[in-house]
Amino acid sequence: MKKTTGFSRLTRDEKINFIAHQHFSQPEEARRLLQSYQHTDPEVQRRHDEFIENSLTNFFMPYGVAPNFLINGTNYTVPMVIEESSVVAAAAKSASFWFDRGGFQAQVLSTRKLGHVHFLWNGNEADLRARMPDIDLRLRVASESLGAQMRSRGGGITQLELVAKPEIERGYYQLKATFETCDAMGANFINSHLECFARELRGFIESDHTLPDAHRSLTVVMSILSNYTPECLVRAEVACPIDALADGDDYTNEQFVEKFLQALHIAREEPYRAVTHNKGIMNGIDAVVLATGNDFRAVEACAHAYAARDGQYRSLTQAEAVDGQFRFWLDIPLALGTVGGLTSLHPLVRASLDMLNNPNAGRLMEIVACVGLAQNFSAVKSLVTTGIQKGHMKMHLLNILNQLGATEMEKERTKTYFSDKAISFQAVGEYLKKLRGQTAVQVLHHIHAN
């Protein structure tokens, strides 16, 4: 097998040609397809290409909006980037439902982020602890130039702690550093600090002649932020009288609340259900996180770790019905930024932030959490009443019709036909075949009649 070398040094067109000829059965067709997804403005395309290495083209995802998100008294139209057909519809439906019941309340509970220098040292823990005030000072002074801008915005290092974990590895310690990163997600800021801390910590130990010779060396294993940010936490909630809850004819308010609470209880106690329940929350969260240029992998990893914080994976949302009042809320760690990263580079990310009135990071955390809560409300509401397939398949019908190459007229007639019938790929295919046969016969009749 021949290894590909020098690929990254090719121009984009050369890369496309190379890939098309190496990996496609129809190279010319593949080349045309890849070229066709490029932006018409070469400047915009160049900027996108520069986000990553070996960029060939762009991968489209739908960019939609969910209007009527009334959050802390402000009405937002929320941008969402997602391919799953029913997600935006469900968010919008839920937003509209809660708009009429006072909207969402959201509150940032804390905004601290953290990282660690992971190191090995064979000295006594007590010796290291005794030196922590000096180490703390040295690290803060050494990293001063890295944090000037952040400090001027009210951020910076909030705490440096020594953590000993000999049970994991002999002589294993962490320098745990906590940061306030204001409106930035802060990954580069944190990692630059940690690498500086690691150098200084090693320098400190190596030059401390009050320590025995054998203890004057320290091995830095790695220095990296943690994407687990349980102290960068936001709460979103909705509440209304139980009497105002049900909007269907098939169940009473009390029946609805009872089943809703049962569903929440199951999701709290049963991990198989909790994962799907939380996946539904992340449908909304990820879509806004993507639209606003934030790191959805970090958000996902953190959310699920948080869901398992007491040792069992549980639902992220909770609900209660007390004194005739229904309350439903979501606590979720969200490390988001509204400056830096993609926020100033991607035109659609800038547009998303603009659409949201250019929020600071805290406000964005609140908006994103509310969309997650709304998404979960819609999903659980459907699950305990009509079932999700009704809404889901309605949206899916369009995908099936597109796959089958249906015309606009065929789409309309098929949608009407299936409005009260079960949708499946096969059923739609058969109906379309019949419809096309009928249409062909009608055309023939028309020709003969004239």
Catalytic residue among 195, 200, 237, 295: 295
Q: Name the residue nearer to ligand MEV (CB basis): 175 or 261.
A: 261
What is the amino acid identity at position 263? Answer: A
Measured from the CB of residue 376, what is the shortest distance to ligand MEV in angstroms?
7
State the nearest-atom distance from the C-beta of 300 to ligand MEV, in Å.
14
- Nearer residue to ligand MEV within complex by CB, 84 or 258: 84
Q: Which is nearer to ligand MEV, 78 or 287 (CB)?
A: 287
Smallest gap from Cβ 389 to ligand MEV, in A, equals 10
269 counts as catalytic: no
Cα 231–237–241 angle (5° rounding)?
155
Rounded least distance, CB 79 to ligand MEV, Å: 19
Q: Is 13 a catalytic residue?
A: no
Nearer to ligand MEV, 48 or 279 (CB): 279
Catalytic pick from 392, 394, 411, 415?
392
Q: Is 28 exposed, middle or buried (CB count within 10 Å of its CB: 0-12, 13-18, 19+)?
A: exposed
CB of 248 to ligand MEV, least distance (A): 18
Which amino acid is present at 223?
A: S
What's the min distance (Å) between Cβ of 436 and ligand MEV?
Answer: 32
Task: Compute the CA torsion angle 415, 419, 425, 428 (nearest 10 deg).
Answer: -60
The CB density around residue 278, as the number of other CB atoms within 10 Å, is: 26
- Phi first, then psi: what are they for 5, rounded to 5°? -125, 150
| Interacting residues toward ligand MEV by CB under 6 A | 84, 276-277, 279-280, 283, 379-380, 383, 388
Compute the least distance from the CB of residue 263 to ligand MEV, in Å: 8
Nearest to 333 by CA among 233, 238, 202: 233
Tell me the residue nearest to ligand MEV as measured from the CB.
280
Q: Cα separation of 169 and 177, whole Å?
A: 20
Q: Is 381 a catalytic residue?
A: no
Q: Which is nearer to ligand MEV, 186 or 280 (CB)?
A: 280
Nearer to ligand MEV, 90 or 334 (CB): 90
Q: Between residues 224 and 388, which has the closer beta carbon with respect to ligand MEV?
A: 388
Least separation, in Å, of the C-beta of 384 and ligand MEV? 10
Q: Which is nearer to ligand MEV, 123 or 280 (CB)?
A: 280
Selected catalytic residue, list 48, 176, 215, 279 = 279
Would residue 208 show up in a list of annotated catalytic residues for this protein? no
Residues with a known catalytic role: 84, 279, 295, 392
